[in-house]
Amino acid sequence: MNKIEPRTLPGFMELLPKEQILFNQMKEKIQKSYEKFGFLPIDTPIIEMADVLLAKAGGETEKQIYRFQKGENDLTLRFDLTVPLAKYVTEYYNDLSFPFRRYQIGKVYRGERPQKGRFREFYQCDIDIIGDGELSIINDAEMPSVIYNTIKELGFEDFTICMNNRKLLTGLFEELELQNESVEVMRIIDKLDKIGKENVIACIKDLGIEDKKIDTIIKFIEIDGTTDEKLQKVEDLNISTETFKTGLEELKQVVNYVRNFGVPDNNFKVDFTIARGLDYYTGTVYETFLNEYREIGSVCSGGRYDNLAEYYTDKKLPGVGISIGFTRLFYKLNELQAIKEENKSISKVLVISMIEDKSKAIEVATILRKNNIPTEVYLEEKKIKAKFKYADKLLIPYVIVIGEDEIANNVVTLKNMQTGEQETLKLEDVINKIK
Amino acid sequence: MNKIEPRTLPGFMELLPKEQILFNQMKEKIQKSYEKFGFLPIDTPIIEMADVLLAKAGGETEKQIYRFQKGENDLTLRFDLTVPLAKYVTEYYNDLSFPFRRYQIGKVYRGERPQKGRFREFYQCDIDIIGDGELSIINDAEMPSVIYNTIKELGFEDFTICMNNRKLLTGLFEELELQNESVEVMRIIDKLDKIGKENVIACIKDLGIEDKKIDTIIKFIEIDGTTDEKLQKVEDLNISTETFKTGLEELKQVVNYVRNFGVPDNNFKVDFTIARGLDYYTGTVYETFLNEYREIGSVCSGGRYDNLAEYYTDKKLPGVGISIGFTRLFYKLNELQAIKEENKSISKVLVISMIEDKSKAIEVATILRKNNIPTEVYLEEKKIKAKFKYADKLLIPYVIVIGEDEIANNVVTLKNMQTGEQETLKLEDVINKIK
């Protein structure tokens, strides 16, 4: 028989079980954290009609899309969870309660050129709050609180949630009458970390912008100090456009409420350079950095938008949301050996029988499972050494050995696989010990 | 702006949040039950190379497959989790520990003609144990034990796990020299419930099989009594082929160990008519029925196979596994109002502020969340009635009301939304009460 070579497509993450265990634990922690804030789960199809999913798309996104015919239908695989949310909210508008707080954790697809750390299939973990007509600015302050809790749940302490309000940048460009150049200027400012201040100035100058205006821009992006100092300094710039004033007022409120939500000052800051794309977000924007692992980039980003679903409906549906690109995050953390998970196995116990009859071993395992202890019985006929090696490779923390002596005395031998310590105990005591 | 009509493809399940909550809870219970037996998680791509995924497929399966080109690649969406398992085990053979016990819960795709209760995208929840060269028959007895625990976790008591061994049927047909007719005869026997005994006899006769042989077949499929009586009666048939004897010996061992694994006699039985397709399974086979909802069909099926991955490798990889077609099961149970889940909401508490300043409400919610109580704050400016209606629609069990009096006295008002009961309490007492 001709054999086919089994292989996995490039750009598709596939983990060994010991990594998958960590991946799933982290994913579950994100889910539990989202649920702690009362976000409701939804699960939309991975396949949608092309016209529905591409209602808004264009440019780069469209090129990356998996699109195909099946029978009469022009189909696409979803490339994010936001367009499916827009579809969902419009489709089930009458059945939903607003503000609609939903989370969705699922795979999305982008046919990017594969490269290290970039994936064509990856999990996104999203939350959004959608208002019906309007949505209080306090929701913008709840997002950093969810980010704070989630990143803490993942075991990290030293991280910074950076916030800005897009209206400040828009208002600044209005003041300088640079609305037409704003996209390009923002693109240059985004490179500040990489190319340095002098180069930023030179690049902006190349656009034909006069020195005085460049001065104001640089002054704006160089504002530093504590959060309160920064807010004061930006106010002192005396920029007079309505947009700028609204942005500043919103940002102040968000900062105020973020503290109210219990996020400590050393885990968030105001950063006036964050824009996150000029077309989609209209108010508050977020990025989150693990300070020990800045090279990963933002691990959780998002922002406020005026209109979730304008390509489907006339209803005004403002929202605010965040997203974790989890597959990439896991890949990077794993590479940096920065994963904090401590449970490295599914089974807590492997039961090994020293005699051919496995009845007692099975009985013991059944009792442990009834006590909610994940347990496996080694059922194959192998040398005792192979059985222990199996426990070792799977990082199972305890082995229970059952032989004739144990059965005669109604006890079991418990071996702690980390310490090597071995003791003979009654089964009740084993249960209490392991729990 | 032209609007696109947001719509979901037929055959793709999309639930409202209140149903999604139940769906997710049940799915998690299945996962936790699989983990209690030490099965390891894997997560394979939904997209695979067509030649890899279709190495074995043919006929009906191939017609239903989602297949498309992307760049140079001929791609398919997975149609089950077994072929990806075969790929995975062969690809990572050297990194895995055998017996390899894995679970996978994920979506699969079949472009079937859509009809009520049939889905093109659906979740399968699979476990398999794969041996390296050989695999003890005791593993065949562990599967019913996992089924038993899983179905109980889902809240059902009255169910029957039906077991058979394919070798009995094969051995019977060998004895009767009907190997060539076996597929057709089995197809007829499968209809016993629907068409009745007389019609089964008539149909088999149409195949040109002599009466004496039909007699033996009918005698075999009509065996009844307790499990032990059935095993005795089948032995008394005195069928002499090696295959039959092996099958009987295996089935006896499986029954013996199934009891050992703690499955009560009234939750399993031997059913000699179960075949589950003649090409794939080679030994033990399972089907599971909810006795109050027989119309659903088998809710968990599977069996033993000699060779998981012969189209990829010369290595002999025998295995045994089961699968729950979860999307269809959920759909049917929901339709029959037979879902047993009791947690119908994500949030346990909705905090409502009677005054404009939401600080105290946010503070209270933050404390509840720190105590692991999923909590939401109603942040919009609405009438009090609208706020309570929101809690009501989302089935949130408790509402905390905070007004000037509560703030002054450092208490909160707690309303039980089921009973309507309302009391004024210190926050610590609320936490203890809700926990």
Structural domains for chain B: 9-130+306-344 (3.30.930.10), 349-434 (3.40.50.800)
Ranking A98-102, A338-342, A371-375, B97-101 by mean pLDDT, the lowest is A338-342
List per-residue pLDDT tens for chain B, 435 residues long.
689 999 999 999 999 999 999 999 999 999 999 999 999 999 999 999 999 999 876 666 777 899 999 988 999 999 999 999 999 999 999 999 999 999 999 999 999 887 888 899 999 999 999 999 999 999 999 999 999 999 999 999 999 999 999 999 999 999 999 999 988 888 888 788 788 889 999 999 999 999 999 999 999 999 999 999 999 999 999 999 999 999 999 999 999 999 999 999 999 999 998 887 657 899 999 999 999 999 999 999 999 999 999 999 999 999 999 999 999 999 999 999 999 988 899 999 999 999 999 999 999 999 999 999 999 999 999 999 999 999 999 999 999 999 999 999 999 999 999 999 999 999 999 999 998
More confident residue, A277 or B121: B121
Nearest to B138 among A23, A375, A379 (CB): A379
CA distance B39 to B23: 22
Q: Which two tokens stand for residue B369?
A: 């969340």
**B272-294 b/e with 16+ CB inside 10 Å = b?**
bbbbbeeeebbbbbbbbbbeebe
pLDDT at position A91 is 97
* Contact present, B159 and B289 (Cβ < 8 Å): yes
pLDDT at position B113 is 82
pLDDT at position B278 is 54
Q: Work out the angle at residue A167's Cα, subtended by the Cα atoms of residues A161 and A171, and round it to the nearest 5 degrees.
A: 135
Average pLDDT, chain A: 94
Per DSSP (E only), the strands in A150-283 are 159-165, 268-270
Q: Which residue of A has its CA nearest to B132?
A: A380
pLDDT at position B96 is 98
Q: Which residues of B touch A394 (CB under 8 A)?
A: 40, 97
Residue closest to A284 by CA, chosen among A264, A256, A310, A311 = A256
What pLDDT band is residue A405 in, cutting at 50, 70 and 90?
very high
DSSP designation for B37? T
Q: Kindly tell me if the per-residue pLDDT of A58 is higher than 70.
A: no
Under 8 Å CB-to-CB from B147, ≥6 apart: which residues? B161, B286, B288, B300, B322
**A322-356 b/e with 16+ CB inside 10 Å = b?**
bbbbbbbbbbbbeeeeebeeeeebbbbbbbbbbee
pLDDT at position B1 is 63
Q: Which two tokens stand for residue A113?
A: 């050129």
Partner A, chain B 251-270, Cβ-Cβ below 8 Å: 257, 260-262
For tokens 């190379």, what's the residue?
B49
DSSP designation for B12? B
Nearest to A379 among B17, B136, B311 (CB): B136
Percent of all residues in chain A with a pLDDT value above 90, rounded to a whole number:
88
pLDDT at position B192 is 83
Query: Are residues A135 and B393, on separate chains, in Cβ contact within 8 Å?
Result: no
Contact status of A97 with chain B (Cβ, < 8 Å): yes
For tokens 């930006």, what's the residue?
A234
Residue closest to B354 by CA, chosen among B389, B378, B390 = B378
Ranking A101-110, A317-326, B276-285, B291-300 by mean pLDDT, the lowest is B276-285
Q: How far is CA B42 from CA A117, A389, B39, B106, B324, in A?
A: 20, 21, 10, 10, 16
Q: Is the pTM of this model over 0.80?
A: yes
What is the bridge-based pairing of β-strands A100-109 and A73-77?
A: unpaired
Element (H, E) at B198: helix B197-206
pLDDT at position A56 is 79
Percent of all residues in chain A with a pLDDT value above 70, rounded to a whole number:
98
Shortest distance, CA A219 to any CA of chain B (angstroms)? 34
pLDDT at position A59 is 62
CA distance A236 to A243: 16
Q: Which residues of B touch A313 (CB under 8 A)?
A: 3, 6
Query: Are residues B1 and A310, on separate chains, in Cβ contact within 8 Å?
Result: yes
Contact status of A313 with chain B (Cβ, < 8 Å): yes
Complex confidence, ipTM: 0.96
pLDDT for A185-238, tens place per residue? 888 887 887 888 899 999 999 999 999 999 999 999 999 999 999 999 999 999
* Contact present, B125 and B324 (Cβ < 8 Å): yes
Average pLDDT over residues A244-269: 97
Torsion of CA A125, A126, A127, A130, to 10 degrees: -160
Q: Which residues of B touch A381 (CB under 8 A)?
A: 136
Cis peptide before A114 (omega within 30 of 0): no
Contact status of B354 with chain A (Cβ, < 8 Å): no
What pLDDT band is residue A98 in, cutting at 50, 70 and 90?
very high
Nearest to B346 among A35, A97, A257 (CB): A35
Test the B interface: residue of A70, A320, A353, A399 with most B CBs within 10 Å: A70
CA distance A300 to A144: 10
Contact status of A343 with chain B (Cβ, < 8 Å): no
pLDDT at position A237 is 93
pLDDT at position B273 is 87
Q: Kindly tell me if the per-residue pLDDT of A275 is higher than 90.
A: no
Shortest distance, CA A21 to any CA of chain B (angstroms)? 6
pLDDT at position B59 is 62
Partner B, chain A 376-405, Cβ-Cβ below 8 Å: 376-377, 379-381, 390, 393-394, 396
Q: Which residues of A touch B97 (CB under 8 A)?
A: 390, 393-394
Residue closest to A397 by CA, chosen among A360, A368, A357 = A368
Contact status of B6 with chain A (Cβ, < 8 Å): yes
Q: Which residues of A touch B311 (CB under 8 A)?
A: 1, 3-4
